[in-house]
Structure 1
Amino acid sequence: MTGRRGGRKSEGTTMAETVSEQAGVRREASTPGVGKFEPGMSIPGILRERVAKDPEGTIFERQTALGSGFVPVTARVFAEEVLAAAKGLIALGVRPGERVAIMSHTSYEWTLLDFAAWSVGAVPVSIYETSSASQVEWIVTDAEVRVVFTENRAQAALAEPLIGQAALEHVLVIAEDAVSRLRELGADVPDADVTTRTAALGLDALATIIYTSGTTGRPKGVELTHGNFVSLVVNGSDDPNFSMVVRGAGKRTLLFMPLAHVFARFVEVLCVYSGAVMAHVPDAKNLVADLAAFRPTFLLAVPRVFEKVYNAADAKAGSGAQKRVFRWAAKVAIAYSRALDTPEGPSRALKTQRALASRLVYRKILAAMGGTLDYAVSGGGPLGERLGHFFRGIGVVVLEGYGLTEVGAPTTVNRPGLVKIGTVGPPYPGTSVRIADDGQVLVKGPHVFRGYHGNPEATAAAFDPDGWFITGDLGTLDEDGYLRITGRKKEIIVTAGGKNVAPAVLEDRLRGHPLVSQVVVVGDNKPFIGALVTLDAEMLPQWLANHRLPAMTVEQAATDERVLAALDRAVTRANEAVSRAESIRKITVLTTDFTEANGYLTPSLKVKRALVLKDFAAEVESIYS
């Protein structure tokens, strides 16, 4: 079970002393930008510079077969493929500013098409591969998409009926050699037609429209410019604290997050600028084999991936002596990491214990993560203090960060030398963060989006009178300017007794138990706080075996007294983070998990709270009956 909040004294700071005090509480913090970028810079310009610096150096590695190996692609070869695809887009009639949608799992082809579209001044629009027909229709029509690239024929069938509606003219299928088709179409287009369009781009040019997955209502199209991305990758890569993670020879990362998500789009541009080598895999289903084959030095993932790694290692330890050894080693790792934050550091005895734990436990976990991993960046939700200390204790520093689609991904992040486990870090270079009077986190910087596509009312509502972007998240800044996120303003629960409760801290702690898949805390206008809990079907068999319990289905486990007793103990531990008035008093275990497939999770794996509360209203009421 993992904790969710905490902190440490920073090892130093590069933040400017932009501080506003009110009753001893820090209200604002800034980190100056360190990168230099000119008005004429653009994303394809970043690729051009990478090729000029090291044309024969590896820029990507392509997977040959699932988990079996990767082959290098040089910067020169990639640029040639981008040029050929870009000429094909021109042959299709795509003009500067027009939209080109991509619907696919994460793949080399997606990145290739991204850069091809950018090179001709077009605007790539991302669509999750799991999107429904109505979602595809909304995005294609709202963004006035001219060309859609889909991964397979089934996805193409969702887009093809839209041809002739709005602006859509072409649907091309990647699995049916769409890239080769572009090369053929553009064979007679002069190279100069592409370079002329690339040269016309600048920081203010629209780079992409990313539709927020949204937990309620229709998604809004977030317009991000070339300048938004350029400022992020330049300030991040040139920052002396962060550059050691992403810059230079030997730096490698494996991208398995959806490229439809802003975090992954930021990463693909970041690696091109920083000089790191990147590889693509479609998802995390074969992550252990993929990590072993590629051997990354840094990784970017959502907290659930790190929870899964820990829970899998715990489950694999089995029962009896092996289980006791793993639990002991986990405690040693956490104690060692916490000791790093003290003036005296780890004791000699603790160092000896860690060395033994490394031989017995840690090296196996590190090998499963590729064997060369030094850093991991976690975003998309709270990681948890205990989990952060565990991974740092075994030798992988997890740098937790915070951001939204509207800020191009990161807006605060822990960095080597600037780490407080349990926070989401100080402001990203070039960024300012402010805490509003109502506790909301506000953001300013060159990475903040220019507006919602075709929605001036929503754009106006997203900024305060002083031009700060209103995130909708609640947070606090500590004395060193490190941010802690405490919840979403719109998700605050008010009990019948008038107590305001932020559900995130309870949900995140309880979700760290290996039996638990998803949690929705409830209690609005109710006498106490309760929770809906779903079980992790993948972890259940191993957990039952480890506890010498008979095999059972999720439905059986949901009513089994021994399973329920384990969940009650997990609830008790989760409640340690809050006051009694905020604590969970009763849970209901559901037999239906919340997934993207059944519509209860967004593509970025956030629970659609309103839909859950509507569809499981009877189960919520049963908590209070």
Structure 2
Amino acid sequence: MNLAGLLDRSTDRTTARVVELDVAGKRREFTHAELTALARARAGQLTAAGVRPGHVIGIRAGNSVDWLAWDLAALATGARLKAFADTVEIPDPGEFIARHRLALLIADASVPAGTPAVVRPDGAPAPGSVAAGAVVLEVDDVHSLVYSSGTSGQLKGLEISAKGTEYVINRFIESFGITGSDRHLIFLPLPNYQQRLSVYLCLWLGADLVLAPYQRVFQAVRKESPTFLIGPPVFYDTALQLYVKSGGDASLADFLGGRIRFMITGMAPIRRETLDGYWQREVPLLEAYGLTETGMVAWNTPDRHRVGTVGQLMDPESVTFLDDGEVIITRDAPLGRGYFDTDGDPSAADIFRPDGSILTGDYGRLDEEGFLTLIGRKKDVIALGSGRKVHPAEIEAAFAGVDGVSEIVVVPTPQSNRLGAIVTTSDPGDAPLRARVEKQIDEVNAALDAHERVMSLVFSATPLRSDPAFMTANMKLSRARAAEHFAERIAVDTGPGTTGTTDSGTSGTSGAPGAADPGAGSR
């Protein structure tokens, strides 16, 4: 696969389809040939507007076929697309265009259109409307500019490599056997670069592509019958819950449209219970691991997989480990070339190292067959007052077998000398179940080293990983927000004289559910 030949490759494809669904359920369908023709027409409009190779075109809009056409038009003209999340507010388009030194801004109706350089997704720029002061990027290998939470969790700009893009897509095709017979459904935002990798993959091979809003993703999966999906853990948790609630009259495969070959999850840890729920029902759910900075690092495939790991290394020779277990990637063609707009984040300068290696911020270990297990994030390590450091994900894994727990999130306590946890049971309204869960947690604690024990619990009626308030922009749990929530609940639900000791000798707190979080309480 190569980006330069992408439009030529899809020009004459009249059977492969691109489907667009909106929130209301309205459906538009295009052949690859029609999308390519639209992209070429847009490329001509960009040239007439004054866009030249190296100019930067901003886009701030929801997923649509028009979004894809502008992306391909930028590719055809040699311009670089700079993708902004559709949650980015632009009250003053002129100032925004000048600050980002854009040639044009493609923006939906929520952005005022009084500036000549603002173009609607289904519109066309006026001839000669390129903004004064538009930057020209001279670096040939910069394909696009995106924003990522990066390895530190703070939003920062990232230059995307054309060579890195081609490398990842070609390896994916080889490893997963994707062909023109496949059908892929995208429901995450296109500014997330992983989704655009999937778009280029489908256009190159002549595979069908479906764009669905996340609000209608479960209906879309059943009606559009994709053969593979890529999504965050919360999607798979919810899909499995919906299937179970449906009564399970059909198979899970049929419930998911009847054509699924495999599903891929990443972006955040997934519960082992969820993985097992798919495999037990003969639907392959495969964990994978990658970063926008590096591209994919490891993946399970339909032919080679080990549940509970993120798979075998894509390039074993490109991966090394620091003494503390942090994963380092050294690759000839990484997906990211470097950061821009780091907003003063001091960690950004340390990620792309002078020797060409990239620090991932993830701790991992390899087993004897080369499968990688992630231990946790460097930024999530909890430093206790005793000086001991713990990986919260490892502690959570120790409690994975506790019956009745649908989610456990380990956090530091406000005192910083012990661990706490936010727990959601499978039936938050069942008081006896909660008591059994507490007893089992005490039993697991007894087998752990003292500094690894969870000493205080807060019960939540809903899982944090399905609550947008606790998720980052790229669908990962914000442990900082979880820790703040824990501290707030402890402060509300405890007071003088409420600290006690359980039967197992575990110190805890007790109190009634707080009004701010119905169904939540602390032990």
Residue identity matched to 2:142: L
Matching residue within 293, 310, 313 for 2:243: 313
Superposition map of 1:327-342 within 5 A = none
Shift of 1:220: 1.3
Shift of 1:254: 0.9
Q: Distance in 1 between matches of 2:401 and 2:189?
A: 22
Residue identity matched to 1:424: V
CA 1:612 to 1:599, structure 2 compared with 1: closer, same or farther past 3 Å? same
| 1:441 counterpart = 2:327 | yes
Q: Distance in 1 between matches of 2:387 and 2:347?
A: 31
Shift of 1:526: 3.0
Residue identity matched to 1:259: L
Q: Secondary structure at the match of 1:476?
A: strand
The aligned counterpart of 2:67 is: 110
Residue identity matched to 2:314: Y
Q: Which is worse superposed, 363-372 or 206-215?
A: 206-215
The aligned counterpart of 2:313 is: 427
The aligned counterpart of 1:300 is: 230
Residue identity matched to 1:472: G
Q: Distance in 2 between matches of 1:577 and 1:316?
A: 39
Residue identity matched to 1:247: T
Contact 1:204 1:227 in 2 (8 A): no
Q: Secondary structure at the match of 1:406?
A: coil
| 1:387 counterpart = 2:319 | no
Residue identity matched to 1:602: T
Contact 1:302 1:378 in 2 (8 A): yes
Residue identity matched to 2:69: L
| 1:263 counterpart = 2:220 | no
CA 1:402 to 1:311, structure 2 compared with 1: closer, same or farther past 3 Å? same
CA 1:392 to 1:561, structure 2 compared with 1: closer, same or farther past 3 Å? closer
CA 1:298 to 1:590, structure 2 compared with 1: closer, same or farther past 3 Å? closer
The aligned counterpart of 1:477 is: 366
Q: Secondary structure at the match of 2:243?
A: helix
Shift of 1:125: 1.7
Contact 1:101 1:125 in 2 (8 A): yes
The aligned counterpart of 1:553 is: none
The aligned counterpart of 1:170 is: 117
Superposition map of 1:189-200 within 5 A = none
Shift of 1:302: 0.9
CA 1:119 to 1:390, structure 2 compared with 1: closer, same or farther past 3 Å? same
Shift of 1:376: 0.5
The aligned counterpart of 1:347 is: none
Contact 2:151 2:361 in 1 (8 A): no
Residue identity matched to 1:258: P
| 1:226 counterpart = 2:158 | no
Contact 1:298 1:375 in 2 (8 A): yes
Q: Distance in 2 between matches of 1:48 and 1:107?
A: 21
| 1:601 counterpart = 2:479 | no
- Residue deviations 1:278-315 (CA, integer Å, cap 9, x gap): 110121x2223211211011111111111112233344
Question: TM-score normalized by structure 1?
Answer: 0.67
Shift of 1:389: 3.2
| 1:60 counterpart = 2:18 | yes
Shift of 1:143: 3.9
CA 1:419 to 1:527, structure 2 compared with 1: closer, same or farther past 3 Å? same
Shift of 1:498: 3.6
The aligned counterpart of 1:522 is: 412
Q: Secondary structure at the match of 2:293?
A: helix
The aligned counterpart of 2:513 is: none
The aligned counterpart of 2:516 is: none
CA 1:572 to 1:207, structure 2 compared with 1: closer, same or farther past 3 Å? farther
The aligned counterpart of 1:80 is: 37
Contact 2:80 2:142 in 1 (8 A): yes
Number of corresponding residues:
484
Shift of 1:149: 2.1
Contact 1:216 1:608 in 2 (8 A): no
Q: Distance in 1 between matches of 2:466 and 2:234?
A: 14
Structure 2 gaps, min length 5: 129-136, 500-507, 510-523
Q: Secondary structure at the match of 2:258?
A: coil
Contact 1:235 1:429 in 2 (8 A): no
Q: Distance in 2 between matches of 1:91 and 1:577?
A: 70
Q: Distance in 2 between matches of 1:125 and 1:82?
A: 17
Matching residue within 146, 152, 155 for 1:210: 146
CA 1:454 to 1:69, structure 2 compared with 1: closer, same or farther past 3 Å? closer
Matching residue within 246, 250, 256 for 1:363: 250
More helix by share: 1
CA 1:460 to 1:373, structure 2 compared with 1: closer, same or farther past 3 Å? same
Residue identity matched to 2:199: E
Superposition map of 1:33-44 within 5 A = 41=2, 43-44=3-4
CA 1:392 to 1:209, structure 2 compared with 1: closer, same or farther past 3 Å? same
| 1:404 counterpart = 2:291 | yes
Q: Distance in 1 between matches of 2:160 and 2:120?
A: 26
| 1:242 counterpart = 2:128 | no
Residue identity matched to 1:48: D
Contact 1:487 1:503 in 2 (8 A): yes
CA 1:137 to 1:429, structure 2 compared with 1: closer, same or farther past 3 Å? farther
- Residue deviations 1:426-479 (CA, integer Å, cap 9, x gap): 122597211111210111221341111266986652134542210011111112
Question: TM-score normalized by structure 2?
Answer: 0.79
CA 1:252 to 1:148, structure 2 compared with 1: closer, same or farther past 3 Å? same
Q: Secondary structure at the match of 1:80?
A: helix
Contact 2:10 2:203 in 1 (8 A): yes
Matching residue within 129, 142, 145 for 2:102: 145
Structure 1 gaps, min length 5: 1-36, 164-168, 189-200, 318-360, 545-556
Q: Distance in 2 between matches of 1:135 and 1:598?
A: 27
Shift of 1:494: 2.3
Shift of 1:145: 2.8
Q: Which is worse superposed, 499-508 or 389-398?
A: 499-508
Q: Distance in 2 between matches of 1:88 and 1:308?
A: 43
Q: Distance in 2 between matches of 1:389 and 1:595?
A: 18
Q: Distance in 1 between matches of 2:465 and 2:91?
A: 18
Shift of 1:227: 1.1
Q: Distance in 1 between matches of 2:88 and 2:432?
A: 39
Q: How much is the aligned-residue C-alpha RMSD, in angstroms?
A: 4.0
Contact 1:596 1:605 in 2 (8 A): no
More strand by share: 2
Contact 1:215 1:602 in 2 (8 A): no
Contact 1:44 1:115 in 2 (8 A): no
Higher RCO structure, 1 or 2 (CA under 8 Å, sep 6+): 1
